[in-house]
Chain A
């Protein structure tokens, strides 16, 4: 009576596609280029040789770059922690009007393109700036720009934990006779250590691989490893040394990431135990009121002034104001192409990069979220690598690797692919938690009601994760607009993106070129702010995962 049906294995093919496409993409556009860099650093001059690596150890300029990278990253991290800590405290402990607006506003610098920040500080700290002192090509300009950039990282990461610390612990210390400073040092600071470590690692990582800011503000005086890779490639054409530098940097970044994730693993259980207590209250007394408004005033001035100076400078015509710089963008002038064309290029590339990052990122997120296995955990780590690898390394890798099997190096699609590579980790990080939150029951209900697996995804998962896809798209768009490190290697001279066009204009003498750079930077700042504001509309909760 009982008949045996032919066994069916639904989901096999789907799973294969989910793994094969993102893996193929990462393999060809990330692993292969990075492997090629390693190859060129060891075999660049014909046979196998360590000469490129020994050059780093011997040549003072290269050793200097490594030393400078380390100490400026350390100094930037310490400076950011100290300067942003009061704001972290104020945002964690006090309620004041417009708080959520302030919190969103301080995040804007973090997502601004490096070229825009560089340009803004050129205007701010140049001889014509409002301060009247010329800090260009000094370490101070670089440090100030790095603090500007990472201010929000400390405020949101440290402040986020601080808001959840039970204030009664501090009150208990006060009752036992500890003064304010003593209480901070002996109670709050130790409890905040995990968040401080997290913020410090993120800031260190970002400043360790700083490229655009150092290139624009440091001149020939200062160069990080990142800048040195670019210089060795574009100015000296010494690919083996550039490759060796990239390998040294990769090793450095990986050790930071490994050390940090080890630290997080040890800490995570301890953190979950803390109660979430709503502790923010309006400032009481002149002392607290002064602190809150003083810190907010400083924050507004510190983060707002460079951007205001940038926009103001773009409108300056001689001694008056006007739109001349913007009008002149349409004419090629001394440039190869009219600067205005860069706007169209950037928009087009950003759309393409967003589409690629969404498709690959969503597939990868699906694999990580739905198939919990050793493969997907391994894949999770693999996907985060492009974020840890520097953008310059990606661009450099494209340059040395993608001439085989077909020469893609001058293909226009390469630019959005590089941007997508940088954006994919953000897309994955945004989508995975939402995908995981879709209850299995809903999928089962769909299956029992007759929906095959693909249909279940389309009818149940997709509508529920759609918002997170929009957020991921916004990130990808903003990242692509501002990406400079990789693009500086692979953008064709006749098709520059906005950051590349701005950098070129900044490198040319003359007030007209500088004004045009300011105008283009202002436009790029506006576009980025717009896509970030669009994200904020769809965002639920805090900006947690970088």
Chain B
């Protein structure tokens, strides 16, 4: 189990990490999610021992890591740009950590074959890393990090540079691999879909601090504050006055599933809306775009509030049409 306590890192004037606490339990897949510059990569580098913290402590199973050099920590790290050794073959790259661990030559060969199998590159041993596609390089980097059976695997935006289809497939494969092999994983990304699809638990970072943590469902259903809600792409954030389970807004009353009362900010998730004659909110469709499984609509209410929504029913109203909208109380989040 990894325990990070009170970790602070400063680069000159700038504070990259500000008193961060974090734990990764054995066998867990933890995703650290945040925009660029939020300190996620610094966090990984400190845990890997590539960057010295200004203060705070790191421990594995109760043993301090602060004075353990990178090469003695036993963690695996997959770099964002892969950092494959250009002067070695695929097998030479994957075998590197095994040789450092003094594994005998014949066992190294076996292990390299096994790990290349896991990542879907059987028989790639003698290829030169310079001639691989982006996806193949990504898999070799993963195999190299996995080969020495690290006690924890860390991945820094591992699929960031791949195209969308490849990325989605790989995220699924990665989760399958980590769960099946019981690999303790710390995964850093700026992409919420990747984090939601892969992780058991998510830590959201903002400006070097932890903004929220929880399971993907918890984070999705109850973003902790307005910043997290906006970062997750929830842009319907409005003022309301709540009395007895009903929120009074500038575009009418909205039922909510919360016992809060008084003045609050509300987040209405884009999946909350349905077009219905019985709907209480009226508005005019301003934009309409097809997104595959659903349509993305922007509706303007008479009071001038713009609401973004995902509609998957038929027929889909056209631009300029006036619609009545019903709002699912379970998809409305009351912020503190």
Contact = CB atoms under 8 A, between A and B. Distances in A.
A453 B64 CA distance: 21
Contacts of B328: none
Contact of B144 (A3, A449, A452): A449
Interface string B73-87: 111110101010111
A3 B64 contact: yes
A448 B50 CA distance: 8
B152 to A, nearest CB: 11
A419 B63 CA distance: 54
A237 interface: no
Contacts of B79: 441, 444-445
Given A8-B69, A10-B69, A450-B148, A445 B63 contact: no
B303 interface: no
A323 interface: no
B83 A4 contact: no
B48 interface: yes
Nearest to B73: A448
Which 8 residue pairs are nearest across A and B when measured between Cβ atoms?
A450-B100, A449-B97, A441-B83, A447-B70, A445-B83, A1-B62, A448-B77, A463-B87
A445 B86 contact: no
B64 A4 contact: yes
Interface in B54-104: 57, 59, 62-64, 66-77, 79, 81, 83, 85-87, 96-97, 100-101
A6 interface: yes
25 contacts: A3-B62, A6-B67, A8-B67, A439-B83, A442-B83, A442-B86, A444-B70, A444-B77, A445-B77, A446-B71, A446-B85, A448-B48, A448-B50, A448-B70, A448-B73, A448-B76, A448-B77, A449-B97, A450-B71, A450-B101, A451-B96, A451-B100, A452-B71, A453-B71, A463-B87
Contact of A448 (B64, B75, B81, B85): B75
Given A445-B83, A451-B100, 19 more contacts: A2-B59, A2-B62, A2-B63, A5-B64, A8-B67, A10-B69, A441-B79, A444-B50, A444-B70, A444-B79, A446-B85, A447-B70, A448-B73, A448-B77, A449-B97, A449-B148, A450-B74, A451-B71, A453-B71
A43 B196 CA distance: 82
Nearest to A446: B96
A6 B72 CA distance: 14
With a 10 A CB-CB cut-off, give which of B49, B62, B70, B100 has the most chain A CB atoms. Answer: B70
B41 to A, nearest CB: 12
A445 B83 CA distance: 7
Contacts of A10: 69
Contacts of B72: 450
Contacts of A450: 71-72, 74, 97, 100-101, 148
Nearest to B68: A5
A460 interface: yes
A7 interface: yes
Contacts of B87: 463-464
Interface in A1-24: 1-8, 10
A3 B3 CA distance: 13
A2 B1 CA distance: 13
B128 to A, nearest CB: 14
A442 B85 CA distance: 6
A460 B81 CA distance: 17
Contacts of B86: 442, 464
Contacts of A444: 48, 50, 70, 77, 79, 83
A96 to B, nearest CB: 33
B63 A3 contact: yes
Given A2-B59, A455-B100, A7 B83 contact: no
Contact of B67 (A5, A447, A451): A5
Interface of B: 48-50, 57, 59, 62-64, 66-77, 79, 81, 83, 85-87, 96-97, 100-101, 144-145, 148
Given A444-B50, A450-B100, A5 B83 contact: no
A58 B170 CA distance: 85
A113 B74 CA distance: 55
Contacts of B57: 2
A463 B59 CA distance: 35
A447 B148 contact: no
A193 B66 CA distance: 55
Contact of B69 (A4, A442, A447): A447
Contacts of B48: 444, 448
Contacts of B96: 446, 449, 451, 459
Contacts of A448: 48-50, 70-71, 73, 75-77, 145
A439 B79 CA distance: 12
Interface in A453-467: 453, 455-456, 459-460, 463-464
A341 to B, nearest CB: 42
A436 to B, nearest CB: 16
Interface in A361-377: none
A448 B44 CA distance: 12
B184 to A, nearest CB: 15
A177 to B, nearest CB: 53
B144 A5 contact: no
A442 B75 CA distance: 16
Contacts of A439: 83
A453 B70 CA distance: 10
A447 B71 contact: yes
Nearest to B77: A448
A447 B83 CA distance: 12
Contacts of B148: 449-450
A10 B101 CA distance: 19
A182 to B, nearest CB: 50
B266 to A, nearest CB: 43
A7 B86 CA distance: 34
Contacts of A7: 67
Contacts of B83: 439, 441-442, 444-445
A455 B102 CA distance: 13
Contacts of B77: 444-445, 448
B81 A441 contact: yes
A451 B72 CA distance: 8
Contacts of A6: 67
A10 B52 CA distance: 13
Interface in A213-269: none
Nearest to A444: B50
A476 B209 CA distance: 55
Contacts of A5: 63-64, 66-68
Contact of A460 (B59, B64, B73, B85): B85
Nearest to A441: B83
Nearest to A450: B100
A1 B100 CA distance: 30
Contacts of A8: 67, 69
A6 B64 CA distance: 10
A459 B68 CA distance: 21
A452 B102 CA distance: 13
Contacts of A451: 71, 96, 100
A456 B71 CA distance: 10
A441 B70 CA distance: 13
